[in-house]
Amino acid sequence: MSPQKIQVKDSLLVIDWSDGKKSEIKLSNLRKNCPCALCAAEEEEQGAKYIPLYSGDQLKITEIKIVGHYAVSINWKDGHNTGIYEFDHLRELGGSK
């Protein structure tokens, strides 16, 4: 299972998967679930009730790259580019696991 097509449509990341499923993930949700160490540490620090507010460049994607056979790397316009999203994680976020 791998992405066949990845598009940004308004505030959504839309992924067509090789098995015919489709994931639609809100960019704010994608950013909130950024799996990089930096974001994980921030979430830990703020606790479970933390609701991050993102705006402007933090919710714009400038580049998407496939990493190996298992993940997607996303560059955000504010310069944040350390998040590597595994395919399984994206499916989970898109509710089509």
Q: Which residues bind Zn ion (CB under 5 A)?
A: 34, 36, 39, 83
Residue 27 contacts residue 9 (beta carbons within 8 Å): no
Alpha carbon distance 86, 54 (integer Å): 22
> Helical H runs in the chain?
27-32, 37-46, 87-93
CB closer to Zn ion out of 39 and 61? 39
Alpha carbon distance 31, 7 (integer Å): 16
CB closer to Zn ion out of 12 and 39? 39
Q: How far is the CB of 39 from Zn ion (least distance, A)?
A: 3
CB closer to Zn ion out of 36 and 59? 36
Residue 87 DSSP class = H
Q: How far is the CB of 52 from Zn ion (least distance, A)?
A: 11
